[in-house]
Amino acid sequence: MTASFQVIAGIGIGKIFSLPPIPMQASTASDDQGLAMGIMVAFRLFGALIGLAVGATTFSSIFAKRINGIALPASLALLEDPCEAVSFIPYLQTADISPAQRDLIEEAYKDTMQTIWYELIPFGA
């Protein structure tokens, strides 16, 4: 079932990367096609760079703010460093903590991701 969503996403991403070069190359002279493609790729990478910078900065600051309000046991002390928060996600379900505390930590992750989406919406418009 989850593979079907990945297939849909793959088709969508495939179209985003493979279709724009066609009209770009068709509208330029043969000698300028390489330059046009280079400019398009540069703008695409610049946009990705800005998105990554905004997303990473937002994740670090918002997650640190949210997680500092939660009393963490010693086994979860590494979550106080936002750089370790992403790598800890797979271990969250097996961590030896109470369900209430797990809910608080998951809420911190949820609030962080929600804030990232809200900040990146204007870049997509």
Going from N- to C-terminal start, the domains of the chain cover 2-124
pLDDT tens digit string along 70-114? 888 888 888 888 888 888 888 888 888 888 888 999 999 999 999
| Separation CA 70–CA 11 (nearest Å) | 41
| Global pTM value | 0.73
Chain centre to alpha carbon of residue 8: 18
Q: Give 112: exposed, middle or buried? Use CB within 10 Å, 0-12, 13-18, 19+.
A: buried
